[in-house]
Amino acid sequence: MKNEIKIFSPATVANVACGFDVLGFCLDSIGDEMVIRKTDKKGIHITKIEGFDLPFEAELNVAGVSALAMYEAAKPDCGFEIEIYKNIKPGSGIGSSAASAVGSVFGMNELLGKPYNQTELTQFAIKGEALASKCEHADNLAPALFGGFTLVKSISPLEILEIPSPKNLYATIIHPQIEIKTSESRAILPKEIPLQDAITQWSNFGSLIHSLHTSDYELLQRSLHDVIVEPHRSKLIPHYKEAKKAALQHGALGAGISGSGPSIFTLSKGLENANKVQDALEKVYSKTGIAFEIHVTKINTEGIKIL
Amino acid sequence: MKNEIKIFSPATVANVACGFDVLGFCLDSIGDEMVIRKTDKKGIHITKIEGFDLPFEAELNVAGVSALAMYEAAKPDCGFEIEIYKNIKPGSGIGSSAASAVGSVFGMNELLGKPYNQTELTQFAIKGEALASKCEHADNLAPALFGGFTLVKSISPLEILEIPSPKNLYATIIHPQIEIKTSESRAILPKEIPLQDAITQWSNFGSLIHSLHTSDYELLQRSLHDVIVEPHRSKLIPHYKEAKKAALQHGALGAGISGSGPSIFTLSKGLENANKVQDALEKVYSKTGIAFEIHVTKINTEGIKIL
């Protein structure tokens, strides 16, 4: 059995339009790298962090907290060192903390001979994610671990459904580099919503799930709407409407807020369309003076992987 | 081409739990029979009605109104006679008016050489359904015409999705013979609902659609919940809670209000379970003094058909 493993832990999009709070998907070319190493010395030790300034104390680090949760359950006769090469900017809305949280437990599980299944790994990772987001949720963890589209049906008990991905689906993601406070993005949501809007939302969500099963891109396009959350949260993202409009005009099937923002995701059929959408989004934000990062990526159906 | 056709127009269940207002399914052994006949005499003429006391004037009869809608669009150089052998009790909550509305247009379309597709037939039938229910909806029309499970994604433009049916799925339907006024069943619904409940509902609905695609009966069981409408409308159906509890205890995967009631639908895996549920429901209502009818039926994947 190996003593060291290098892994790629992908970025993810949660709150996919009408699937707010339950549907997520996994990205392919954006993610963190991590090295996990078995050691004689007991405990969890974070020995290297590159890319962003994050705490080395395991109890204060997302990857450390999930690692500790698994370590306490597995009680192995060894310890683990964790190196984190962070590429996903914290606070960008594409699952930065989730990538850290799943990376450590996925790697440790491999080195221990896979005692835990993916749902159990998600359980451990939830503990790490909770350190970052102050609540237990798996919207980004599930797609990072399982790949493709995932529906988190419930948290307690944890139930994750793997939804099929159409083969030719690409995401274009833009991260306008502004800060949105989690507290603000939560406070802006209404506690009560009109029943008619809720019906529209679940009609679209059921249709979206059907479209993913049938690879029906046109239906996917007609279903990727969010009448509940987007009208409120999009106000926190400057130039959101303009960006979304440009993306749709240049061939995107749909667009929405990634996680709680500020990143904006778009989905397109085929790489060519996804690239056109990239150009359109670049054009919008280039004029604003807001710095941004932009990515085009295939939907990653594999999820986290060994490098 | 034939000049006369006899058809079976099935009963249907709308408002399927978390799929309130959008999901319906088609029943197999309960339905009306109708004879549609081409005549030299122009116009739509209802010549026979058996089973229930309904108006013979085409403009006042659900089957007549949908027939007239199609007749005015098709402008054929003939007329049609309609005979209605009504088995589905009006007001029972299992699509009595929908069966009438689709029956006439389906039969006429066959006799004219099928100029219209199923979605176009649904458009005509909506006019008939509106006479009975005072609003345009296709929740019962769609499953009656298409068979199986249908999701009415939108009414304008009309968009109907056919959702796959697991092979071994049976419905047990009980109709406690009480009257629920449509106005009352509408008025009892809240205009605003908690966002958290709406999220639970669309999570369940997305999961339900996934379970139908994957024939996952256990997931279907875990998804067939309605946290929005059932808590209110079930108050209008005496002994609802007791009946639902008995059904679930005797093997039903789930249960809910059929349409806006008073019928209660349950779904079971296999005929044997569906029969056990029938016994359990009979036992509950036998003690109450409320007259009832009860049916066990396979999900009808074919929909309306020629006899």
For residue B137, the model assigns a pLDDT of 87
SS3 B195: helix
CB contact under 8 A, A223 and B198: no
Find, among A130, A145, A148, A150, the residue nearest to A68 by Cα: A130
Q: What are phi and psi of A294, to 5 degrees?
A: -140, 140
What CA–CA distances, in Å, run from B108 to B28, B41, B54, B95, B262? 22, 15, 20, 20, 32
* Contact residues, chain B, for A195 at CB < 8 Å: 189-193, 228
Where are chain A's structural domains? 4-163, 169-298
What CA–CA distances, in Å, run from A108 to A3, A72, B82? 10, 12, 72
Banded pLDDT at B134 (limits 50, 70, 90): confident
Mean pLDDT by 10 residues, chain A (307 residues): 92 98 96 97 97 95 97 97 96 95 98 96 95 85 98 95 97 95 86 98 98 98 98 96 98 97 97 98 96 97 97
Torsion angle of the four alpha carbons A243, A246, A252, A255, in this order, in degrees rounded to the nearest 10: 30
* Contact residues, chain A, for B194 at CB < 8 Å: 191-193
Picking from A161, A201, A219, the nearest residue to B207 by CB comes out as A161
Find, among A71, A33, A68, the residue nearest to A51 by Cα: A33
Find, among A286, A280, A210, A4, the residue nearest to B152 by Cα: A210
CB contact under 8 A, A204 and B153: yes
| B60 touches A: beta carbon within 8 Å | no
Report the alpha-carbon distance of residue A62 to residue A90 in Å, rounded. 11
Banded pLDDT at B184 (limits 50, 70, 90): confident
* Contact residues, chain B, for A20 at CB < 8 Å: 199, 202
CB contact under 8 A, B163 and A21: no
Substitution target in B203, B220, B224, B229 with the highest count of A β-carbons within 10 Å is: B203
For residue A184, the model assigns a pLDDT of 84
A205: nearest CA partner in chain B? B206
Report the alpha-carbon distance of residue A204 to residue A208 in Å, rounded. 6
**Which residues, including other chains, have CB under 8 Å from residue B82's CB and lie 6 or more apart?**
B34, B35, B36, B37, B44, B45, B46, B47, B63, B64, B67, B104, B107
- CATH fold of B169-298, please? Alpha-Beta Plaits (3.30.70)
DSSP state of A192: E
CATH code for the structural domain at B4-163: 3.30.230.10
Convert the pLDDT of each residue in B270-291 to its tens digit: 999 999 999 999 999 999 999 9
Contact A63, A104 (CB under 8 A): yes
For residue B248, the model assigns a pLDDT of 98
Q: Is B129 a catalytic residue?
A: yes
- Number of other CB atoms surrounding residue A188 within 10 Å: 16
Contact A9, A33 (CB under 8 A): yes
**Which residues, including other chains, have CB under 8 Å from residue A255's CB and lie 6 or more apart?**
A224, A243, A244, A247, A248, A264, A265, A266, A267
Torsion angle of the four alpha carbons A228, A229, A232, A233, in this order, in degrees rounded to the nearest 10: -170
Find, among A108, A218, A91, the residue nearest to A166 by Cα: A218
Q: What angle in degrees, to the nearest 10, is found between the helix axes of A240-249 and A271-286?
A: 150
* Contact residues, chain A, for B222 at CB < 8 Å: 153, 159
For residue B1, the model assigns a pLDDT of 67
Chain A nearest CA to B214, separation (Å)? 9
Indicate which residues of A carry an active-site annotation: 129, 182
For residue A1, the model assigns a pLDDT of 66
How many residues make up chain A in this entry? 307
Average pLDDT, chain B: 96
In the beta sheet, which residues pair with residue A31? A10
Report the alpha-carbon distance of residue A283 to residue A245 in Å, rounded. 12
CA-atom Rg of chain B in angstroms: 19
Contact B284, B278 (CB under 8 A): no
Report the alpha-carbon distance of residue A54 to residue A61 in Å, rounded. 7
Find, among B37, B51, B68, the residue nearest to B130 by Cα: B68
Find, among B29, B90, B92, the residue nearest to B61 by Cα: B90
For residue B228, the model assigns a pLDDT of 97
Contact A298, A4 (CB under 8 A): no
Task: Average the pLDDT over B129-150 and give the result.
Answer: 92
Contact B82, B64 (CB under 8 A): yes
C-alpha neighbours within 13 Å on the C-beta side of residue B278: 15
SS3 B193: strand
Chain A nearest CA to B198, separation (Å)? 6
Task: Average the pLDDT over B194-213 and give the result.
Answer: 98
Report the alpha-carbon distance of residue A132 to residue A115 in Å, rounded. 26
Contact B268, B253 (CB under 8 A): yes
Start-to-end Cα distance in chain B: 16
ipTM at complex level: 0.95
| A193, containing H or E segment | strand A192-194
Residue for token pair 């679209």: A204
